[in-house]
Amino acid sequence: MKTNWKILEPDIETVRSVSKIVKCGQIIATILANRDLTLQENITPFLNPSLSNLGSPFEIKDMDNAVKRIASAVQNSEKILIFGDYDVDGITATAIVYEFLKKAEADIIFYIPHRIKEGYSIKKESIDYAKKKGANLIITVDCGSNGFEAVEEAKKAGIDIIITDHHETPEILPDAYAVINPKRKDCSSGLEHLAGVGVAYYLIICIRKYFRDIDFWNESKPEPNLKELCDLVALGTVADIVPLVNENRILVKTGLENINKSARLGIKKLIKISKINGGKIDAEDISFKLAPRLNAAGRMDSANCAVRLLIAQKDADAGNIAENLNQLNIERQNTEKKALDKVFAYIKGDSNILKRKSLVLVDKDWHQGIIGIMASRIAKKFKRPTLLIALNESLGKGSARSIPGIDIYEAFKKCESYLEDFGGHPMAAGIQIKKDNIKDFKEHFEKTITDFLNGKKPEADIIIDQKITLADINSQLITALEPLKPFGSANPEPLFIAENVTVQKSWIIGKTHKKMLLKDETCKNSKLIPAIQFNIDIEDMDIKKFDYIIFNASFNKWNGNNNIQLQIKDFL
CB 325 within 8 A of CB 350: no
Give the domain extent around 108: 57-262
Residue 511 lies in a domain: yes
* Same structural domain, 226 and 179: yes
* Same structural domain, 377 and 449: yes
Residue 344 lies in a domain: no
The CATH number of the domain where 186 resides is what? 3.90.1640.30
User: Between 148-156 and 126-133, two packed helices, what is the crossing angle to 10 degrees?
Assistant: 30
* Same structural domain, 355 and 491: no
Residue 221 lies in a domain: yes
* Same structural domain, 446 and 468: no
230 φ/ψ angles, rounded to the nearest 5 degrees? -65, -20
Q: Shortest CA distance to 297 belongs to which of 325, 332, 318?
A: 325
Please give the model's pTM, rounded to 2 decimal places.
0.93
Task: Please report the pLDDT score of residue 551 as a whole number.
Answer: 97
Residue 218 lies in a domain: yes
The domain boundary, picked from 428, 453, 478, lies at 453
* Same structural domain, 196 and 83: yes
* Same structural domain, 244 and 117: yes
Residue 210 lies in a domain: yes
User: Which residues, at least 6 apart from 488, have a Cβ–Cβ distance to it below 8 Å?
Assistant: 238, 241, 243, 244, 252, 283, 287
The CATH number of the domain where 421 resides is what? 3.10.310.30
Residue 291 lies in a domain: no
Q: Shortest CA distance to 144 belongs to which of 160, 166, 114?
A: 166
Task: Please report the pLDDT score of residue 456 as a whole number.
Answer: 67
* Residue-by-residue pLDDT tens, the chain, 572 positions: 456 788 999 999 999 999 999 999 999 999 999 999 999 999 999 999 999 999 999 999 999 999 999 999 999 999 999 999 999 999 999 999 999 999 999 999 999 999 989 988 999 999 999 999 999 999 999 999 999 999 999 999 999 999 999 999 999 999 999 999 999 999 999 999 999 999 999 999 999 999 999 999 999 999 999 999 999 999 999 999 999 999 999 999 999 999 999 999 999 999 999 998 766 899 999 999 999 999 999 999 999 999 999 999 999 999 999 999 999 999 999 999 999 999 999 999 998 999 999 999 999 999 999 999 999 999 988 989 999 999 988 999 999 999 988 999 999 999 999 999 998 889 999 999 999 999 999 999 999 999 998 866 655 578 999 999 999 999 999 999 999 999 999 999 999 999 999 999 999 998 889 999 999 987 777 789 999 999 888 778 889 999 999 999 999 876 666 789 999 999 98
* Same structural domain, 545 and 409: no
The domain boundary, picked from 391, 421, 453, lies at 453
CB 402 within 8 A of CB 426: yes
The domain boundary, picked from 403, 427, 453, lies at 453
* Same structural domain, 383 and 496: no
Structural domains of the chain, count:
3
Q: Shortest CA distance to 165 belongs to which of 128, 192, 138?
A: 192
* Same structural domain, 30 and 177: no
* Same structural domain, 34 and 116: no
Residue 324 lies in a domain: no
* Same structural domain, 20 and 62: no
| Number of other CB atoms surrounding residue 158 within 10 Å | 8
Peptide bond before residue 486 is cis, with ω within 30 degrees of 0: yes
* Same structural domain, 430 and 472: no
Helices (H) and strands (E) in the chain, counts: 19, 18
